[in-house]
Amino acid sequence: MASILSKERSRYHRSGWSVVATIAPAGASLATTAGSLATPSRLQMESRLASEAEVTHTPSPGERQTTMIGTAAASTEEAHLAAPPRGKIRAPSAPSWDILADAFENIHAQRTLELEFALPFRECYRFALLREGDWLCDQTVRWHRDMLQALWAKQFKGVNQRSEKPLAVFSETWKGYWPAIRMVADVLQPALIRSQKYDEHSFINACVEEFLNSVVHFELSQSQPGSTVLQRMIDVVLDLTYYHPLGVAPLAKIYDLLGLFFRILEGICGERGDNLFDEAVGSVYLEPVRRFYESEAARLVPACSAFEFCNAAKRRMLEEEWRCHNILPPCMGDKVKLLIVETVIRPYINQVLRRDSSGIESLLSNASVRELAIIYETVATAGEEKQGLQLVFRNWIMSSGSNLQPQRDTSSDTAVCGAIPAYAWTMGMMRLERKAEDIVRRAFRSDEKLEADVSLGISNLVRQEGAAQYLSEVLNDELARGRPHRISRRARDYRSLLN
């Protein structure tokens, strides 16, 4: 092998080309096992192509000399193709696209050790001499389009769609495609230098765009419209993450493959526009997720209490936040959360609160701060005015205060308040107010509107019939004792609300 490569190097040394092959262990990736192609500088290549493209005249008898194309001919064959010794320069033989197509196929199949690079180099050089570099690059891009369609159809045939296999197929396809198109670009250097439409970077971008188009638009089955590679992959993602999260493979392996799938697409789209991922991938992903959450909401609303509904919505939000950190691109996070809000929470939250108002009032009476905090967070996430929660909260304050209504039979108050039922009523009002304020502070994050509801509820209770009489009795007892009391001080505050 070393002697063969040495001969090839000496053969193309004077013409500006060198071919270097690196033999790596079997099983290595295309980037390490394929022969790396070292090309001459762009300035040298342009100079040589420009000189060889000139049409020379027939020399006069006094100017008989051998016409050379380029700087030097490296072999008898190249001299024969480039510059006959006398007369007009003969056009080189027609280049063959089939030779290049076979070479590209070997490169993508990772059979570069079997490839004789002299042949594709020569054919590409001929295309460049004929000023057909643009046509050759366009034809190569179209060849990649056809190759990808055939490859996807072959790769997905017979693959278990309810497993991680399609994800592994996608990952391996991209890992082979990316280094292959870079090697193809090396082979096409003569054409790229003379091309008016492409340079190396734009050619690689065109091949990558063909990969993205094949994923987004190519249908694997003509009998199933919409069965694109992307749709098939997203079905696998939904099946493994929403419907059957345990899967058949270790979760870590599945999540790694899912994350790699989205990172590859995000990287491809990110090179071409800020909104391309949303347009090409995000919309296709979000629609089935929306349908999933619509069915989830239809299941939760009739069967769950307010706390159970809000707790389930919060759990789904946390799951999506985790997915956006580990699987989905960061740009998808806000969109998926907004989808849950618009599909599950906002349309149903007030309906659930009204239906389970007694359950919420029970939580308020028991001061269940954790459960109430989850309900409040869910309501706040919906971006609503919290009218449903405010209504339940105000009703609870009024119903709790109604149990403190002055009663003529005050035997139960005698032991506590020394035969002064006004003290029992005032103390009950104080406990209710402190409890409501504590719930607002700890569970409702000191929400200003709910704080105002506490003040409004206490003010309404103080204005009830008989309340003013009890407040007067407490204050008269203070005068009789001759010293202020904390209950009487609060009674004075309550009476000020009557003014």
DSSP 198-211: --HHHHHHHHHHHH
Average pLDDT, integer, range 270-290: 81
- Report the largest interatomic distance among the alpha carbons of the chain, rounded to a whole angstrom: 144
Residue 118 neighbours by CB distance under 10 Å: 13
Cβ-in-10-Å burial (0-12, 13-18, 19+) of 403 comes to exposed
Q: Considering its fold, how many domains does the chain have in total?
A: 2
pLDDT surpassing 50 at residue 312 = yes
Evaluate whether residue 64 is within a structural domain.
no
Question: Who wins on pLDDT, 29 or 347?
Answer: 347
Per-residue pLDDT tens over the stretch 429-460 = 888 999 999 999 999 999 999 999 999 998 88
- How confident is the model at residue 220, as a pLDDT? 82
Evaluate whether residue 72 is within a structural domain.
no
Mark whether 105 and 249 lie in a shared domain. yes
pLDDT surpassing 60 at residue 319 = yes
Total length of the chain: 499
Average pLDDT, integer, range 60-76: 37
Mark whether 415 and 267 lie in a shared domain. no
Give the C-alpha separation, 278 to 282, whole Å.
Answer: 4
3-state secondary structure 382-419: CCCCCHHHHHHHHHHHHHHHHCCCCCCCCHHHHHHHCC
Interior/surface letters 47-73, b for 16+ CB within 10 angstroms, e for the rest: ebbeebeeeeeeeeeeeeeebebbeeb
Evaluate whether residue 113 is within a structural domain.
yes
Give the C-alpha separation, 33 to 20, whole Å.
Answer: 12
The single-letter code of the amino acid at 232 is R
- How confident is the model at residue 499, as a pLDDT? 66
Task: Give the domain extent around 413.
Answer: 401-499
Q: Which two tokens stand for residue 171?
A: 């990952």
Relative orientation angle of helices 421-442 and 448-462, to the nearest 10 degrees: 170
Question: Among 88-92, 260-264, 482-486, which range has the highest average pLDDT?
Answer: 260-264
Per the CB < 8 A criterion, the answer to whether 380 and 388 are in contact is: no
Average pLDDT in the chain: 77
Residue 269 neighbours by CB distance under 10 Å: 22
pLDDT surpassing 90 at residue 43 = no
Give the C-alpha separation, 183 to 438, whole Å.
Answer: 69
Cβ-in-10-Å burial (0-12, 13-18, 19+) of 1 comes to exposed
Q: Which two tokens stand for residue 28?
A: 């290595």
Mark whether 102 and 245 lie in a shared domain. yes
Q: Give the residue among 284, 286, 305 at the shortest CA–CA distance from 355.
A: 305
Evaluate whether residue 499 is within a structural domain.
yes
Evaluate whether residue 114 is within a structural domain.
yes
Report long-range pairs for 251-257 (Cβ below 8 Å, ≥24 apart). Answer: 253/164, 254/164, 254/167, 255/326, 255/327, 257/164, 257/167, 257/168, 257/171
- How confident is the model at residue 102, as a pLDDT? 92
Q: Which of 242, 272, 302 is the last residue of a domain?
A: 272
Relative orientation angle of helices 229-238 and 251-270, to the nearest 10 degrees: 140
SS3 84: coil
pLDDT surpassing 80 at residue 50 = no
Q: Which of 219, 239, 272 is the last residue of a domain?
A: 272
Question: Who wins on pLDDT, 113 or 258?
Answer: 258
Evaluate whether residue 482 is within a structural domain.
yes
Mark whether 8 and 154 lie in a shared domain. yes
pLDDT surpassing 70 at residue 206 = yes
- How confident is the model at residue 45, as a pLDDT? 54
Report DSSP letters for 217-229, one per residue. Answer: H-BS-TTSTT-BH
Q: Kindly report which listed range (48-62, 308-322, 344-358) carries the lowest average pLDDT score.
A: 48-62
Evaluate whether residue 282 is within a structural domain.
no
Which residue carries 């495609």 as its tokens? 177
Question: Who wins on pLDDT, 256 or 480?
Answer: 256
Evaluate whether residue 371 is within a structural domain.
no
Average pLDDT, integer, range 474-484: 70
Mark whether 415 and 268 lie in a shared domain. no
- pLDDT above 90 covers a percentage of the chain that reads 35
- How confident is the model at residue 273, as a pLDDT? 62
Q: In this structure, what CATH number is given to the domain that contains residue 109?
A: 1.20.1310.10
- How confident is the model at residue 223, as a pLDDT? 64
Average pLDDT, integer, range 329-349: 89
Give the C-alpha separation, 442 to 306, whole Å.
Answer: 19
- How confident is the model at residue 130, as a pLDDT? 87
Q: What angle do CA 35, 40, 1 make, to 5 degrees?
A: 30
Q: Which two tokens stand for residue 214?
A: 């094949």
